[in-house]
Chains A and B, each alone.
Chain A
């Protein structure tokens, strides 16, 4: 059974960098795309981006300039960095495995437990 466990700093000040990591258990990173998704009451669920074990990445245009996605195959982990955060980046952040074919994450399963991130001065 595949399980994702995520962690990272939950309280940030404006302009700081959000850093989250997701460890994958029971599955190799190879053969899948690994996503980050965030959720707020106002904007709902928002896909941030994904990455493959080979390092291929894509991300949503509105965040692309601030997002860094990376993988560590030796640890079977993948990470998200979002720089220059503002209050608008306050959200619950989830990691998830993309199940699909080629570079398409056709659906997300499973998801990590979520990490609440608050950006406040």
Chain B
């Protein structure tokens, strides 16, 4: 199975900060990489798919980049609604696997 490793596991941030989360795959996955946001008590919601495509309705302060084995999710000017846990997920090959998550804390 492809292992997905996120860093950092948690991040203390403030409103207005620029945040970058990194996701590394144990083997190349081209651009088959997605980013999800999960808030307490809710299901994950896709933010970015295929590494850099912004899901409809997601604010443009979210962006994704990368290919191969290294990917980043960037949030410019963090908003109060953005404090959540973020997961990367590879869809290059089944079983589809997720990173362990990055929790953004105030």
A-to-B contact residues, CB < 8 Å: 35, 44-47, 50, 58-61, 94, 96, 99-100, 104-114
Q: How far is the CA of A30 from the CA of B94 in the complex (A)?
A: 20
Which A residues are CB-close (under 8 A) to B97? 47
Task: From B15-23, B43-51, B69-77, give the one contacting chain A.
Answer: B43-51
Q: When the two chains form their complex, are residues B45 and A107 in contact, meaning their CB atoms are under 8 A apart?
A: no
**Chain B, Cβ-Cβ closest to A99:** B49
**Given contacts A47-B94, A58-B94, is CB(A107)–CB(B43) below 8 Å?**
no
Q: How far is the CA of A110 from the CA of B45 in the complex (A)?
A: 7
Distance of B39 from chain A, by nearest CB (Å) = 12
Which B residues are CB-close (under 8 A) to A50? 94
Which A residues are CB-close (under 8 A) to B62? none
Q: How far is the CA of A44 from the CA of B100 in the complex (A)?
A: 6
Q: How far is the CA of A61 from the CA of B91 in the complex (A)?
A: 16
Q: When the two chains form their complex, are residues A107 and B91 in contact, meaning their CB atoms are under 8 A apart?
A: yes
Q: How far is the CA of A111 from the CA of B99 in the complex (A)?
A: 18
